[in-house]
Structures are given as C-alpha cells and as structure tokens.
Amino acid sequence: MANTGWNEFEIGAMLRSFDGGIDDIAGTLQEDRNYSQNNSFSASVADWRIEKPVFNKDYCIDCQFCWIYCPDISIISRDKKMVGVDMDHCKGCGICVEVCPTNPKSLLMFPEHADEETEIARWPEKETKEK
C-alpha cells in the first residue's frame, strides 16, 4: 500500500473493515472474521502498555463485568466464560481490574515485565472487611 499511486486508491478517503462481504458478523468470532489490513483489529497496540492485567481464573465467577467495561474489546469471552485477555489490543488501562467484583480480584495489574505464573502463584489473600 505504501507505493500505491493517487489513481489507485478507492476514492472518498474511506477504509473497508473486512475483505469482501460479510454475513452475520455478530455471530462470528473475532478470530474467524475476515478483517482487512485497514481494520484496527489488524494493528497491535501492545506497546502502548506499561502495566498489564493478569487473569487468575481460580477466583473468576464469569460475571462478564470486565468484558462489558473493557473499552477495547480486549477481554476474550467464550460461551459467557472469561477466557483471558487479548494482549495485542489491551492498552493497560486497568478498567477490568477496577470493575472486577470478586474477593480477591481475579484480574490485577502488574508491571509489563512481571512473570504471569509467578504472580498467580503468590496471588493476594481474601481481604476481610473492616467493621
């Protein structure tokens, strides 16, 4: 695309989201969609992140709050079960952690370089409410 001439662009400064036509896009999983090169799904923004969310499924109740609140559709959910985080599109905003209702939280923010397995192994204990 970098060497495309002025006469080769589709006119109108518009981009197609998918290659070819689509049918039942809502019923098609993201990994099965025929995203075009121009779709933002095709671009990784992982390098924006300085902190990453780590998911501990032992405490997850599949409430889907993180899926609803994630501004970048980076929470992967299948059959209403939280599966993990799409690390190509997560920008590390921490909203998923903020809205996680479990005790202890099943999503926590850690520095980008932290090792996931180590952090899950020493996950925080349940907090007791102060009366």
- Token couple for 94: 């921490």
**Using CA atoms, how far apart are residues 31 and 125, in angstroms rounded to an integer?**
35
Question: Segment near other proteins (CB under 8 A), from 1-9, 68-76, 78-86, 107-115?
Answer: 1-9
- Token couple for 127: 């907090």
Which residues in 14-33 contact other proteins (CB under 8 A)? 14-18, 21-23, 25
Q: How far is the CB of 112 from other proteins (least distance, A)?
A: 27
Q: Establish if 43 lies at the interface with other proteins (CB under 8 A).
A: no
Q: Establish if 5 lies at the interface with other proteins (CB under 8 A).
A: yes
Q: Is 110 exposed, middle or buried (0-12, 13-18, 19+ CB in 10 A)?
A: middle
Select 3 or 128, whichever has its Cβ closest to other proteins: 3
